[in-house]
Amino acid sequence: MPELEYFLVSESVSTDERTGYFSLFNILEDMGTVLPLRISRLIATSCWNISPEEQGRDYQVSLRILQPNGEILEGAEDIAINFTAEGNRQRIHHELRGVSVPEAGDWVFEILLNGEHKAKHVLTVREQDASA
């Protein structure tokens, strides 16, 4: 099975065409905001190291979002992306638009490989007063 190198959730990503350098912008970890919040765009990026034995095999990477109460966010039940292993590394981007965040607390983004939990990324949302 491919080995997870990293998993982060950010507002955007970019790859330089000339150099191939990859950048994540505005990693979402801790956010003070007026609630309810609607995140216009977020990208959950996972990077997988692939061994020579795994070349040509098919895999599925799924994203799941858990609300602070532990329930899966409606519409974010195991959002899957399939890929065939090629090269030494595979980067997967789950792009979501219009994610509703109605309450404060720890929002957990889970990444799964072929249905098996591999990692989580926690976004802590703190409610701020609208008048502040």
pTM over 0.85: yes
pLDDT digits (tens, 9 = 90+) for 9-52: 999 999 999 998 999 999 999 999 999 999 999 999 999 999 99
Domain boundaries, the chain: 3-127
In order of 55, 69, 117, the CA distances from 10 in angstroms are 29, 22, 20
Confidence of residue 130 (pLDDT cuts 50, 70, 90): confident
Mean pLDDT of the residues in the chain: 94
- Contact call for residues 109 and 68 (beta carbons, < 8 A): no
What is the per-residue pLDDT across 64-88, written as a single tens digit (0 to 9) for each? 999 999 999 887 778 999 999 999 9
In the CATH hierarchy, which fold is given to the domain comprising 3-127?
A: Immunoglobulin-like (2.60.40)
